[in-house]
Amino acid sequence: MSKGRASIRDVARESGVSLTTVSLILNKGDERISDSTRQRVLSAIEKLQYRPSRLARGLPNNRSRTLAVLIPALQHAFADPYFGEIISGIYDYAADHDYRIMLEVARRDFIRRKQYDILIEECSVDGILFIGATEEHRFLAEFDGSDKPFIVVNNHFQQWKLRTVLCDYAVAGRLAADHLVELGHRRVGHISGPAAQVLTAEQVTAAFVDRLAEHGVELPDRLIVDGQFTVEMGELAMQELLTRDSELTAVFCGNDKMALGAYHACRRVGRTPGEDIAIVGCDNIPAAQMADPPLTTIHMNFYQLGTLACRTMIDLVDPVRCRRRAADEQSSDDGHNGHPESRCPRLPVSLIARGSCCEPAVGDRV
Amino acid sequence: MSKGRASIRDVARESGVSLTTVSLILNKGDERISDSTRQRVLSAIEKLQYRPSRLARGLPNNRSRTLAVLIPALQHAFADPYFGEIISGIYDYAADHDYRIMLEVARRDFIRRKQYDILIEECSVDGILFIGATEEHRFLAEFDGSDKPFIVVNNHFQQWKLRTVLCDYAVAGRLAADHLVELGHRRVGHISGPAAQVLTAEQVTAAFVDRLAEHGVELPDRLIVDGQFTVEMGELAMQELLTRDSELTAVFCGNDKMALGAYHACRRVGRTPGEDIAIVGCDNIPAAQMADPPLTTIHMNFYQLGTLACRTMIDLVDPVRCRRRAADEQSSDDGHNGHPESRCPRLPVSLIARGSCCEPAVGDRV
DNA sequence: CTGAAAGCGCTAACAT
DNA sequence: ATGTTAGCGCTTTCAG
């Protein structure tokens, strides 16, 4: 009794009930158990400063109430606002539901030794959320159609049917096209992400091109350059684009980083973004609105994406508690955007018009 | 036997030994146990694809082999290369020693509800590493002199004696002073970090000023402006500095972000960094060498800092395995920089001379 | 509405 | 060098 921290037994003794009762109160919350008993137990818990051990709690049913966030072993993955926002969303939802978040990096040996399986097998985590998966991550094949608690966040795969949560990249491409055409642009270029690696990059490009075509604007392949999602390559891509067609009046970039790189390239040849040339980005990272001029971009709610991903995962691995939660959140569809019911919900996106888009110079170009 | 995953019992049966033997092999590695038995057991493990349950393993001795990384609830803490590098270091060392990393954000209610204590009490983690602590985190008082497994990474506190691991900021300040003076600068300004919040910021400033004085160069208080560690405030600070003394030939900034902000401010008034004015940063973040001109800065090995912090923590909470590890790493002092033996080891720093420093214009200023 | 009892899978004395 | 045994702190049937 006086040794170490209080255990469930101490609480039971203190409040004059059995272990079972305490356990029941700890878990189900509602159901059985009279209010008076509950009060007694609750105050005993308070008095003894009792903290149920997660280890012991998980053992009987092999659940750790911990989720793993897996990220690729990129150089500064942790320093990326993209990952950061998603992780924040995941973390917050998890914390609110008494889940913890474990960090895992998909290093080479992590994959070779199948740590992602081990993680689950040894009950370290109840599920895995993979952010930043690309076609390079072949090991994902293993999860194809499996019922393992594995979710790919913000990418998906042609050949496999993995559980996925993502932003609506097709709409993103269309919004950009509409915006540019509305402004009067007809001579448009595009800096894409690495389409071969990332399906969403391919989709946004395809959607952009298709929508442009619907508006009667043709975007030839030679005016699409891969910017690898980085500032540096975006800059090079813009340079290339300007070489291929110096009359370009607008460019849509697959993400904000490349758009910011494009700014540099434009300036170097004396074209000012927002004045001599229109640039649209995608993602709406913090740097976008701080850029000069502020970058017009497609807003993606990565925080909410993380939230939704985490929610989907918990629904998957903890259906019991979920049902209870559902009861609590009486406000029916609360936060239920993106149709989380489907296996691949898509989060809505929107265009944020800022200063980087102008109309094409009158009579000048085109 | 056929139900669910293999347990230690299955392994014991399969290899014809007792539970103890298997357990012993799993843990101590060496010691007792004959080689033949070990082989038999090992292959049984392999054959049965046995994975010891972390939950069950931790229960008897209340150890989860998990460490928490606590970061402040800053807007984009996750998107910061500073946090990112440190976390990477922590993660890698932990992974190599079969520890997992749990993420925790010091949100208001996390602190109010003393989650940091609960984390340990409920055996979710064996220790906590706090990155980004400032004077605002008053709750740290609770750890003052306590023997809780709590380490503050890269900051320390005047009044308290918390366990700490940090870079040598005093040396950083001196290196910057030496460099600038060697180049001939005698009219120098300084953009500091928020000294009231972060003791290391105060120290680097103090060291810089003192060393300058040793060289016979005086840096009056009015030429020290707080840049709050951000690009934007750094820019404003530089602007202010230039107003207060337009003859400044050099500026030392408390971190690279502020230095990059200072670049902008200089350019706006027609002074080119590396030509008309010398700028030294601190941290050596990736953006520093990609800046134009590449930023001369004080290199801090944040990755290694993370590594050291994690090592210190594991030494603290897992002395047994540590001793065994020590035996393995026969190469005595391997990686033992910064005197990790002391309660507050300091990691060495170095100056990286790049393009942002020039000599003062001859005959022009000063 | 509550209690008794049987484990969960593993570790660590304590034998032998 | 290996086996026996008693828990670790909790959940969960199954009985009352």
Whether A122 contacts chain B with CB within 8 A? yes
Q: What are the chain B neighbours of A124 within 8 Å (beta carbons)? A: 54, 100
Whether A76 contacts chain B with CB within 8 A? yes
Whether B251 and B238 have beta carbons less than 8 Å apart is answered as yes
Query: Percentage of chain A with pLDDT > 70?
Result: 88
> How many domains does chain B fold into?
3
Q: Is residue A256 part of a domain?
A: yes
DSSP A237-305: HHHHHHHH-TT--EEEESSHHHHHHHHHHHHHTT--BTTTBEEEEEE--HHHHHSSSPPEEEE--HHHH
Q: Are residues B122 and B235 in the same domain?
A: no
Question: Among A82-86, A190-194, A204-208, where is mean pLDDT lowest?
Answer: A82-86
Q: Nearest Cα to B201, choosing from B209, B210, B193?
A: B193
Cα separations in angstroms, B284 against B30, B254, B288: 43, 11, 6
pLDDT confidence of residue B337 = 43
Is the pLDDT reported for residue A338 higher than 50?
no
Long-range contacts of A111-118 (CB under 8 A, 24+ apart): A111/A137, A111/A139, A114/A139, A116/A68, A116/A70, A116/A150, A117/A142, A118/B51
pLDDT confidence of residue B74 = 80
Q: Is residue B3 part of a domain?
A: no
Nucleotide nearest to B62 (CA to C1'): D8
Q: Are residues B139 and B284 in the same domain?
A: no
Of residues B225 and A293, more confidence is placed in B225
Contact B76 A78 (CB under 8 A): no
Of residues A31 and A109, more confidence is placed in A109
Contact A53 B64 (CB under 8 A): no
Distance from B50 to chain A by nearest Cα, in Å? 9
Q: Are residues A234 and A358 in the same domain?
A: yes
pLDDT confidence of residue B331 = 38
Over residues A292-308, mean pLDDT: 95
Whether B59 contacts chain A with CB within 8 A? yes
Which residue in the set A62, A88, A121 is minimally distant from B78, CB to CB? A88
Q: Is residue A227 part of a domain?
A: yes
User: How many whole angstroms separate alpha carbon A121 and alpha carbon A124?
Assistant: 8
Residue B191, domain CATH? 3.40.50.2300
Contact B103 A105 (CB under 8 A): no
Q: Are residues B210 and B290 in the same domain?
A: yes
Whether B95 contacts chain A with CB within 8 A? yes
pLDDT confidence of residue B275 = 94
Q: Are residues B98 and B139 in the same domain?
A: yes
Which residue in the set B54, B102, B121 is minimally distant from A101, CB to CB? B102
Q: Give the torsion through C-alpha atoms of A301, A307, A308, A314, to 10 deg.
A: 170
Q: Is residue A160 part of a domain?
A: yes
Q: Is residue A3 part of a domain?
A: no
Q: Are residues A137 and A233 in the same domain?
A: no
Q: Are residues B86 and B151 in the same domain?
A: yes
Q: Are residues B134 and B199 in the same domain?
A: no
User: How many whole angstroms separate alpha carbon B315 and alpha carbon B126?
Assistant: 12
DSSP A191: E
Q: Are residues A208 and A355 in the same domain?
A: yes
Distance from A291 to chain B by nearest Cα, in Å? 12
> Which bases of strand D sit closer than 7 A to a protein CB?
1-13
Whether B303 and B89 have beta carbons less than 8 Å apart is answered as yes
pLDDT confidence of residue B321 = 61
Give the mutation candidate from B122, B125, B263 for the A interface (greatest A CB count, under 10 A). B122
Contact B102 A105 (CB under 8 A): no
Cα separations in angstroms, B40 against B15, B17, B31, B46, B360: 6, 9, 16, 10, 74
Protein CA B49 to sugar C1' C13 (Å): 29
Query: Which residues touch A18 (CB under 8 Å, ≥6 apart)?
Result: A12
Query: Percentage of chain A with pLDDT > 90?
Result: 63
Q: Nearest Cα to B70, choosing from B128, B139, B123?
A: B128
User: How many whole angstroms separate alpha carbon A96 and alpha carbon A83?
Assistant: 20
Q: Nearest Cα to B82, choosing from B14, B166, B182, B184?
A: B166
Q: What amino acid occupies position A85? A: E
Q: Are residues B240 and B359 in the same domain?
A: yes
Nucleotide nearest to A12 (CA to C1'): C3
Q: Are residues B73 and B181 in the same domain?
A: no
Q: Is residue B143 part of a domain?
A: yes
User: Along the 366 residues of chain B, how does pLDDT read in single tens digits?
Assistant: 344 678 888 888 888 888 888 888 887 655 667 777 888 888 888 888 899 999 999 998 889 999 999 999 887 667 778 888 999 999 999 999 999 999 999 988 899 989 999 999 998 999 999 999 999 998 999 888 888 899 999 998 888 889 999 999 999 999 999 999 999 999 999 999 999 999 999 999 999 999 999 999 999 999 999 999 999 999 999 999 999 999 999 999 999 999 999 999 999 999 999 999 999 999 999 889 888 899 999 999 999 999 999 999 999 998 766 545 444 443 334 444 444 456 678 999 999 999 999 998 765 544
pLDDT tens digits, one per residue of A212-259: 999 999 999 999 999 999 999 999 999 999 999 999 999 999 999 999
Which residue in the set B78, B107, B121 is minimally distant from A78, CB to CB? B78
Q: Are residues A215 and A231 in the same domain?
A: yes
SS3 of chain A: helix, strand, coil, percent, to 5: 45, 15, 40
Q: Is residue B33 part of a domain?
A: yes
Nucleotide nearest to A21 (CA to C1'): C2
Over residues A280-309, mean pLDDT: 93
Distance from B366 to chain A by nearest Cα, in Å? 35
pLDDT tens digits, one per residue of A140-181: 998 998 888 999 999 988 888 899 999 999 999 999 999 999
Domain of B198, in residue numbers: 169-300+350-364
User: How many whole angstroms separate alpha carbon A222 and alpha carbon A228?
Assistant: 16
Q: Is residue A54 part of a domain?
A: no
Record the pTM.
Answer: 0.89
